[in-house]
Chains A and B, each alone.
Chain A
Amino acid sequence: MIANRTEVILGRTLLILALILTVIPLVSMLSAALAPADRNPTGIEWPSDPQWVNFVTAFETGNVLRLMGSSTLIVLGVVPISLLIATLAGYALGGLRVKGGRGILIFFVLGLTIPFESLIIPLYYQSQAMGTLNTQWAVIFPLIGLFMPFSVFWMRAHFINVPPELGEAARVDGASTWQEFRRIQLPLAMPALSALAILLFIWTWNQFILPVVLIADPLNRTVAGALTFFQGQYSLSIPLLNAGALIIITPAIVLFLIFQRQFIKALLQGAVKG
């Protein structure tokens, strides 16, 4: 087309370089994970005798099953409720356009810039007072709140673009607000909802600072938060640490590879709207 040959070649070369740079750390992890557990590995090399058993050791000593269970519990506690209440609020703001909605929207959007670090100290004493400290609830409740600004904003952005005629038509036919919401609005919202579900899943699964601060036992944290436990556990064995870390990141990567189109779309939209 209009791009000339040199540009195309230069672009391709740089792109391939960027791709290699992106993959190198992961390859380096794999290379270290396959080295003998009791020795210090060197750089990236295909080991003459790959120690796949390291993954088994890391899986067992790292209590990976329990960690996955704990993470899943936190995800199940955060994502469905967040989706539900954000959809309701988004519908009120974007679909019903309630009076005073603009102020509420601004109130939510202001929360987008609050860094988690600014809240960890009060959240700690709050969960202590509530008696949830050191349980998964200590992370679940605040995460729902912290995800609200983005989620409400996201769902409102969807509902505001639904032509009001659709709802009016339903109401003329005698549908109640609930019926209209259930039969018309919800099916239309499915793409926005599933993208939001993907984003909330990644953000929860990879959440680090809240579990580290609010849950003392690493085995009750998210997998990301438990990585510190791995670091302590395997401080003497780089191969086992890398094997453990690889196991931890695998489920998310597998999900990503299966649903990559949806993931990438959601992440791109998420970046633009956030």
Chain B
Amino acid sequence: MTSRPAIGPDVLTPGDTPASAVAGSRTPRRATAIAVARRATLVGWALLVPALLAYVGFVIWPLIQGVQYSFYDWNGVGVATWVGFDNYLRVFTDPDLLGAIRNAFLLIAFFTVIPVSVGLVLATLIRSMKAGAFASISQTILFLPQIIPLAAAGIAWSWMYAQTGAVNQILSGVGLGWITRSWLADYTTALPAVGLIGSWVLTGLCTVLLLTGIGKIDVSLYEAIRLDGAGWWREFFTITLPGLRQEIAVLVTLTVIAALSSFDIIYTSTQGGPGRATLVPGLSIFRIGFTQSDVGLASAFGIVLMVLILIVVLPIQRLSRTESR
């Protein structure tokens, strides 16, 4: 089943220069110009080769391999048997795997909805931050979670959520001692708790990006609508939201992908538990492939995950593109 990355050289052949163009040249000068252009095309393609080799060899080829694996029953060492679409059928019928997909979609609420909404509220309220010490310090702090590995965020928050951790300490401090618990060990709170780690990571990025976006909106638009006597809501829906369409589309795309393909945070905080309460596709693929050695099923789930992300993300892209005209 395994093989070395055979990179098809056919992908890399230079684009054909139309022969007619060459034949049609009369004057020597034109011939030189065409020769130059032809050489440029050749050089251009030569420059593309290394990047294409890396991309095809380590992304496209593995992807094709993954598709191939997904049609076999294989434990990684023995003989592989062709099973057709059985693995895909199992992805869509196994309650554990369906649960993982469901969890991934639920995480969108925490990875996308919360960060983008909070970012929007903050951005509209602050609108334009005057450049200064406070603004730059805020920006730096809001960006900290972007620099920290997600795996470390998982560790930091497992301690925050622990029975003796800061979350319970703060809750007790404000008189909510009765709801304290070990948040990641509780079946009902584990998924939201893990989701909020994602909110923590992504809110800063969303806020700063939306603030930058709102700063680009023409101030006179706001002045005009205020003179018109418009309230906060109308201002928000007629000026701010349309003005930030591009940024919002970008952030939604980015954060939805982060939610559906989450792995690091879950791996270091809950390992998918308790039970399967926080199991996500990424962790499932990892377990099925390497712990249970069911390579076919894991590969099929990988392909399904990729297609799911495409299905969710492509419409957002189209939306932002057509509307921005």
Q: List the interface of chain A (C-beta within 8 A of B).
A: 1-3, 7-8, 10-12, 14-15, 18-19, 21-26, 28-29, 31-32, 40-44, 84-86, 88-89, 91-93, 96-101, 104, 108, 111, 113-126, 128-130, 141-142, 144-146, 148-149, 151-152, 177, 202, 205-206, 208-209, 212-213, 223-225, 227-228, 230-231, 238, 241-242, 245, 248-249, 252-253, 256-257, 260, 263-264, 267-268, 271-272, 274
Q: Name the 8 nearest CB pairs between A and B, nearest first.
A: A145-B58, A11-B125, A43-B169, A98-B44, A89-B51, A224-B149, A115-B261, A122-B62
Question: A208 is contacted by which of B149, B166, B203 (Cβ under 8 Å)?
Answer: B149
- Structural contact, A100 and B50, CB atoms closer than 8 A: no
A151 to B146, CA, bound (A): 19
- Structural contact, B122 and A208, CB atoms closer than 8 A: no
Name which residue of chain B comes closest to A227, CB basis: B151
> Quick check: is B83 within 8 A (CB to CB) of the other chain?
no
> Quick check: is B270 within 8 A (CB to CB) of the other chain?
no
> Quick check: is B147 within 8 A (CB to CB) of the other chain?
yes
Name which residue of chain A comes closest to B254, CB basis: A271
Known contacts A29-B159, A122-B69; decide if A227 and B268 are in contact (CB<8 Å).
yes
Name which residue of chain B comes closest to A273, CB basis: B250
What's the minimum C-beta distance from B142 to chain A, rounded to whole angstroms? 6
User: Which residues of B lie under 8 Å from residue A149 when comparing CB positions?
Assistant: 55, 59
What's the minimum C-beta distance from B275 to chain A, rounded to whole angstroms? 20
Question: A260 is contacted by which of B1, B45, B140, B260 (Cβ under 8 Å)?
Answer: B140
Known contacts A15-B138, A25-B156, A148-B55; decide if A121 and B298 are in contact (CB<8 Å).
yes
- Structural contact, A268 and B51, CB atoms closer than 8 A: no
- Structural contact, A89 and B65, CB atoms closer than 8 A: no
Q: Is the interface of A mostly helix, strand, loop or mixed?
A: helix
What's the minimum C-beta distance from A1 to chain B, rounded to whole angstroms? 8
Taking A2-B219, A92-B48 as given, write out 10 further A-B residue pairs in contact, using a Cβ cutoff of 8 Å, ordered by the A residue number: A1-B128, A15-B122, A43-B168, A89-B50, A89-B52, A114-B59, A121-B66, A122-B62, A248-B152, A268-B208
Which bracket fits the contact residues of B?
35 or more
Known contacts A14-B125, A264-B208, A267-B143; decide if A44 and B166 are in contact (CB<8 Å).
yes
- Structural contact, A41 and B164, CB atoms closer than 8 A: yes
- Structural contact, A228 and B151, CB atoms closer than 8 A: yes
Known contacts A89-B50, A271-B209; decide if A117 and B286 are in contact (CB<8 Å).
yes
User: Which residues of B lie under 8 Å from residue A238 when comparing CB positions?
Assistant: 159, 162
Q: List the interface of chain B (C-beta within 8 A of A).
A: 1-5, 15, 17, 39-41, 43-45, 47-48, 50-52, 54-63, 65-66, 69, 76, 118, 121-122, 125-128, 138-153, 155-157, 159-160, 162, 164-166, 168-170, 200, 203-205, 207-209, 212, 219, 222-223, 226, 246-247, 250-251, 254, 257, 260-261, 263-264, 267-268, 281-282, 285-286, 289-290, 295, 298-299, 302-303, 305-306, 309-310, 313
User: Which residues of B lie under 8 Å from residue A10 when comparing CB positions?
Assistant: 125
Known contacts A113-B309, A256-B143; decide if A42 and B164 are in contact (CB<8 Å).
yes
User: Which residues of A lie under 8 Å from residue B268 when comparing CB positions?
Assistant: 227-228, 231
What's the minimum C-beta distance from A44 to chain B, rounded to whole angstroms? 5
Question: B302 is contacted by which of A97, A119, A177 (Cβ under 8 Å)?
Answer: A119
